[in-house]
Structure 1
Amino acid sequence: MKQELIVPKCYYPWPTVQSPIATSFDIEEIGWYDNDYTFISQEGIKRCKKQKLSQVATFMNPTCDNIDLMRPCARLMLYITLFDDYFGVTPAKELKTIADRVYEVMLGDDPRPDEIGILRQMAEARKEWIVNGMPQFYIERVSLNFYEFMIYGMMEEIPFKQGKVRTYPLLAHYFTFRQYSIGMWPFGDLIDAATNFALPVHIYNHPVIQRCRELLGLLIVIQNDFASLKKELEIEAECLNIVFILRNQYKLSYQEACAEGMRIHDEYAKELDDLHASLPDFSPYQKEAYDHVYHIKLQISGCANWYYNSGTNRYETQGFIVPKYGREGDGIVIEHSIFTE
């Protein structure tokens, strides 16, 4: 008899705002795939086109109604997601070389004609941000945060992805690298681009703002782990999911691990809400700092809205592309006795 596992949904003590331009890039992103993602197999591209990835940018930045401001944000959503999908099991030394080149392009170096097309998307986004009036310190910020996504996130995951059997990190260790590999440090930078205001460096670097940005990543980690749990239960060696980690570390059932993961999630959401309500004095940028944290909250509820209401098939069986060092069919290995609804 199969045991039923009810995976919880994430809710927040703040509103979910609907984007007025939610589907505006659905057609345009097809051209990006066809022109600049040709290193991915035809079957992989076919899968990508069903995932509605550009809508993540619009759902998570729902107050923006300007197509030009949102376009580079949609580009970043695609290239950070597919970069992770494709290079996720790349050996660390090779990934470091790729990361260095990505950083150069994001800062200002144009890719060569013979280089991988994803670099062209990065260069186009950078040029669009500059045309839209974003300052150099913003370009440096998003470039560094993307670099750290690769170095402190993707590279730290490699030992856990290369094993043939599950090897679990402890929860504290998991959060240290997963908050980077989920991509929310650079994605949080899209708040500035979508609102057309770059948070000044001294405010961005303030510990309270940094903690809010960290909470953005941690909350999206748990959201993502719940959303991908059904698929990851079928992957024999998969270990990087909070449900698996809690179950292993504390000897919980799957349902108990889900409940504990949601308890942690709700504590983080309350902390973010409390910080937003009690920001320190950021004069003369108090309104802008308050608005920035407000948009951090909208990114979180907007991402949940995308998972539950966009119609994406990203977390269905064979929803992902085959990584550079993967094999066709990777990820669908075993049947599991526990299912979700």
Structure 2
Amino acid sequence: MHVATADQHTADWLMRFGLVRSEEHLNHYRRQGFAWMVARMFPNAGLEELCAFTDLNTLLFLLDDYLDHQESSASPENRDKKVKAMIDGFIRVLRQPKYGEQSGNPVFVALAELWQRMKKMSSRSWQRDFIQSIVAIFTAAIWQHENVKAGKWPLLADYMEQRQYLGAANIATDTIAVVDKIRLPRKMYEHPLLQELTALCRNTVCWANDLFSLSKEIAHGDYHNLVVLLSHEENISMEEAIVRACEIHDDQVKQFMRLCRYLPNEGPVMKMELHRYVEGLKNIMRANIDWSDYETSRYQYEYEEHVRTHKVREHYLMEAAV
């Protein structure tokens, strides 16, 4: 309903703060359809929330592209300095918004303005958790950056542990509480079952993204990808690794669906809130597939069509059975 308005808002926001270099650069990001991604993930979002989280996700993708560019340009010393300054500054803005307003850095100025809007729609405890989620994202980004700098291939197990943060999937699941106004106490978010469901949601989103982004990452020589690491570590062909990645994805979707049947019984009100949160997780999982398939120019998947359409999507079609 509000998606076209949110898309235009974010385009204006990017231009107002000088986050894009030209009309062509702006159109590059608009073609990626971030407003449609956010709208699919959070179908209950009002216009204010949709604009704010489209701004946020666009900024994170823009920053990811910036950090990727730093891997292939400038001297190692200057590259490290720029990456560290961007990360340190980003986190500092969240803790001290006035720093962003006065920094003169377009990213930090824009973030300070966005953060003020996000604070108005969220609780202080959520804001503290969000900052920690951003720290986790950048910690994972530094881990990847150090691997690339050293020419080191990560262990598959280590990559699978870090991937949800490399893909900022933790930010997506954090957003549910704000957009859907979920009222769950911290002890429920810390419940082992809910933590496992949340991790499975994040991971399956990232495994699907690794399949969708595979062609692009192979072209860029990026080996931080589930398929590439499976092929490398298990000494199998790329085609076999694609099938294995699909199996990992689908097995975890099945596990998610199975665990949904065993939500804690904490009374009717809590049960309703838990159900709404889990529905939010499902929305993210399904939305990621549909957006990647139909609405973004970010991924150009060049491998077997039946692998993508059957293996990656089949279990989402079974959600009604949960």
TM-score in terms of structure 1 length: 0.78
| Letter paired with 1:173 | D
Go from structure 1 to structure 2 and tell me whether the alpha carbon gap of 1:130 and 1:339 turns closer, same or farther (over 3 Å shift): closer
Aligned to 2:136: 148
Q: Cα deviations across residues 272-329 of structure 1 (Å, max 9, x unaligned)?
A: 112222112344522112211221111010111101121x211259xxxxxxxxxxxx
For the pair 1:128 / 2:117, whether they are aligned, the reply is yes
Aligned to 2:182: 197
Structure 2 distance, partners of 1:252, 1:37, is 46
For the pair 1:305 / 2:285, whether they are aligned, the reply is no
| Greater relative contact order (CA < 8 Å, ≥ 6 in sequence) | 1
Deviates more, 1:106-115 or 1:300-309: 106-115
Percent of paired sites with the same residue: 21
Aligned to 1:216: 201
Q: Does the 8 Å CA contact 2:216/2:300 hold for their aligned counterparts?
A: yes
For the pair 1:86 / 2:73, whether they are aligned, the reply is no
For the pair 1:21 / 2:2, whether they are aligned, the reply is yes
Aligned to 2:313: none
What's the offset of the Cα at 1:41?
Answer: 6.8
Q: Does the 8 Å CA contact 2:207/2:226 hold for their aligned counterparts?
A: yes
For the pair 1:63 / 2:47, whether they are aligned, the reply is no
| Letter paired with 1:74 | T
Decide which of 226, 230, 243 is 1:246's aligned counterpart. Answer: 230
Go from structure 1 to structure 2 and tell me whether the alpha carbon gap of 1:233 and 1:129 turns closer, same or farther (over 3 Å shift): closer
Go from structure 1 to structure 2 and tell me whether the alpha carbon gap of 1:37 and 1:261 turns closer, same or farther (over 3 Å shift): farther
Q: Does the 8 Å CA contact 1:129/1:193 hold for their aligned counterparts?
A: no
What's the offset of the Cα at 1:264?
Answer: 0.5
Decide which of 148, 153, 159 is 2:146's aligned counterpart. Answer: 159
Q: Does the 8 Å CA contact 1:39/1:117 hold for their aligned counterparts?
A: no
Structure 2 distance, partners of 1:21, 1:158, is 37
RMSD: 2.5
Q: Does the 8 Å CA contact 2:172/2:284 hold for their aligned counterparts?
A: no
Structure 1 distance, partners of 2:162, 2:81, is 18
Q: Which runs of 5+ in 1 are unaligned?
A: 1-19, 318-337
What's the offset of the Cα at 1:54?
Answer: 2.4
What's the offset of the Cα at 1:205?
Answer: 2.2
Q: Which runs of 5+ in 2 are unaligned?
A: 72-78, 306-322
What's the offset of the Cα at 1:142?
Answer: 1.2
Q: Does the 8 Å CA contact 2:103/2:109 hold for their aligned counterparts?
A: no
Aligned to 2:317: none
Aligned to 1:48: 29
Structure 2 distance, partners of 1:92, 1:41, is 27
Structure 2 distance, partners of 1:210, 1:339, is 33
Q: Does the 8 Å CA contact 1:182/1:221 hold for their aligned counterparts?
A: yes
Q: Cα deviations across residues 107-147 of structure 1 (Å, max 9, x unaligned)?
A: 45231344322223333333223333x21111111121012
What's the offset of the Cα at 1:220?
Answer: 1.4
| Letter paired with 1:60 | M
Go from structure 1 to structure 2 and tell me whether the alpha carbon gap of 1:120 and 1:54 turns closer, same or farther (over 3 Å shift): farther
What's the offset of the Cα at 1:169?
Answer: 2.1
| Letter paired with 2:158 | H
SS at 1:162 equivalent: helix
For the pair 1:226 / 2:211, whether they are aligned, the reply is yes
Structure 2 counterparts to residues 251-262 of structure 1, below 5 A:
251-262=235-246
